[in-house]
Structure 1
Amino acid sequence: MKLDKELVRDVLLAVEAHDEPDRWLAIKIPGKSDIEVSYHIMLLAEAGMLKADDVGSHDGFEWVPTRLTYKGHEFLETVRDPEIWRRTKEGAEKAGIAGLGMLVELGKAYGKQLLKERLGIDLP
């Protein structure tokens, strides 16, 4: 299964909106199957962006999140701005890169670029 950048952001936003960080959250994303959502939850957990549990049984694949990690919050804050998210996705597509680590780095770079454009501030 391919990494879906939009689904990554949608899952993180759904988990962020969850008010009970110690309880499992059933996430439904319109137009995405439960398997696609579970797969991306698993990837985000492996990347350290959220806490999740493998609750699948011998006859099913299912990952359920409980909360974002600091790294997940940081990434989400980086790409929350629609312009930064648009640039991040376009940059990843142009470069042929889809890994979560590279999305994080691209998001940071475009965030810094946008700060410079809007505020005239150069960040290292």
Structure 2
Amino acid sequence: MTQNMKRDMDLIRELMLKLEGLSVPLTGIKAIDGREPVVQVDGYTTEQIDYHLLLLEQAGFIYGGGLENFGMRFGPGIGFQSLTWAGHDFIDAMRSPDVWDRTRRAASAAGGFTVDLLVSAAKGYLEARIKGFIGG
């Protein structure tokens, strides 16, 4: 696996939407890698998908325990059981294509971002919309 890949937030969002829809028994863990049709995203290689699955695990957006033994990873992919609370918050903030597009454009105009800033910006936009609906 290449270690110098750039993080692609569009791919992160797409993978989160796909993982949210997976059905895994509460006590089960599903091994997933970029070859799985359920996580393939047009325009991205298996290697890119594998790398971004690892990033999702590192970010604490998914729970599953990984495919590791004694701190060593055996092969590409992750173990997946569910999204974490933070993972649900991320995807709930970024689910709407409109919110995602506005958030992504704002981050681009600012010249950079972190995941926390993206989520914060999306939440701010959603909060303003909700206040508009309830008259606050």
Structure 1 segments unaligned to the other structure (5+ residues): none
Residue 80 of structure 1: how far off its partner (Å): 1.2
Deviations 1:64-123 (A, max 9, x none): 2512111101111111122211111111111122422221111111111222334433xx
* Identity rate, percent: 30
Distance verdict in 2 for CA 1:12–1:34, change over 3 Å: same
- Following TM superposition, the consecutive aligned residue runs of length 4 or more in structure 1 with deviations greater than 3 angstroms are 54-57
Query: Is 2:60 the counterpart of 1:48?
Result: yes
Count of aligned positions: 118
If you compute each CA radius of gyration, which structure gives the higher value, 1 or 2?
2
Query: Is 2:31 the counterpart of 1:24?
Result: yes
In structure 2, the residue matched to 1:64 is: 78
Q: Please, what TM-score do these two structures have when normalized by structure 1?
A: 0.81
Residue 54 of structure 1: how far off its partner (Å): 4.3
Query: Is 2:89 the counterpart of 1:85?
Result: no
Query: Aligned partners of 2:79 and 2:89: how far apart in 1?
Result: 17
Q: In structure 2, what residue type is equivalent to 1:32?
A: Y
Residue 12 of structure 2 contacts residue 52 of structure 2 at CA under 8 Å; is this kept in 1? Answer: yes
